[in-house]
Amino acid sequence: MSLSPLCPLSAVETVVINAILCLVLVVATYTDATRAKIYNLLTFPAMLTGLLLNTLLWGHAGLTLGAALEGLKWAGLGLAVGFALLLVPFWLGGTKAGDVKLLMAVGALKGWEFVLVGFLYGAVLFGVVAILILARRGKLGRTLSNITNYFYGMAVLHSAPELSPPADDSKYPYGISLSLGFAVALILQYTLGRPNFWQW
């Protein structure tokens, strides 16, 4: 069972939106990998395209203003969920605005369920890649020790030790993992008919 309303788009219309999504993800991956940025010139037009396309296509499918508004609501909810997913990490300085706006764009194009599931896949991929990078650089043991000491200080000593920010050479662009997570969700949507391999 899906918690999202049944999307009324035809196969051709779905392919068009998926093609736009793939283009956005490819460009975002390239710019994040080469320049450590995901540009507004990409994300804002993608958000607008998602809102407008879903409004028009849902309206065309239902032949009513109500159907068009349902499409706008569906895309708007996806955009809002994409914004909420990384809002707290962004406030805490753990991620960049470009990552947040990429999630918003994907949500506007594909809806809240897709952006949520793809985000979860991307988070897992990011964790795996981070572990591999730390292990390759010989920093995994020290990082795990720092995490253990941090939570020990919080739970037992009731005071969190100060953590120094990671060196710039240890950073890995989060947008790449997010894009890969959305690619996994898209593949599952084509093969299973839904972006998640579990039932809600």
What residue ranges do the domains of the chain occupy?
11-192
Whole-number pLDDT of residue 155 = 67
Non-local CB neighbours of 41 within 8 Å, separated by 6+ positions: none
Q: What is the pTM of this model?
A: 0.80
CA–CA distance, 50 with 68 (Å, rounded to integer):
13
- Describe the chain by its helix, strand, coil percentages, rounded to 5: 75, 0, 25
Give the number of other CB atoms < 10 A from CB of residue 130: 17
Where is 145: in which H helix or E strand?
helix 140-152
Is the pLDDT assigned to residue 7 strictly greater than 80? no
Q: Phi and psi (nearest 5°) for 105?
A: -65, -45
Whole-number pLDDT of residue 161 = 56
Measuring CA to CA, which residue among 13, 51, 44 is closest to residue 28?
44
Is the pLDDT assigned to residue 166 strictly greater than 90? no
Reported as a pLDDT band with limits 50, 70 and 90, residue 148 is confident
Of 119-123, 149-153, 155-159, which has the strongest mean pLDDT?
A: 119-123
pLDDT in tens, 25-71: 999 999 999 998 999 999 999 999 999 999 998 877 656 787 889 99
